[in-house]
Amino acid sequence: MSMLPRTRIQFDAGSRPRALDVMVASTPLARMRGLLARPPLRQGEAMFITPCNMVHTLGMGYPIDVVFLGRDGLVLKVAPHVGPRRMRGCLRAHSVLELAAGEAARQAIAPGMSLSVGALR
Whether residue 38 is contained in a domain is answered as yes
What distance in Å separates the CA atoms of residue 11 and residue 108, rounded to the nearest whole number?
Answer: 10
- Mean pLDDT throughout 99-118? 91
- Give the chain's domain count: 1
Domain range spanning residue 18?
Answer: 6-114
Instruction: Answer yes or no: are the C-beta atoms of 55 and 49 closer than 8 Å.
Output: yes
CATH code of the domain containing 44: 2.60.120.1140
Higher per-residue confidence, 7 vs 77:
77
Whether residue 91 is contained in a domain is answered as yes
Q: What is the pLDDT of residue 30?
A: 82
Reported confidence tier of residue 1, pLDDT bands at 50, 70, 90: very low
Which tens digits make up the pLDDT trace of 59-85? 898 999 999 999 999 999 999 999 999
Q: Is the dihedral of CA 80, 63, 72, 95 positive or negative?
A: negative
Closest CA to 84 of 42, 104, 56: 56
Amino acid at 53: N
Instruction: Answer yes or no: are the C-beta atoms of 19 and 10 closer than 8 Å.
Output: yes
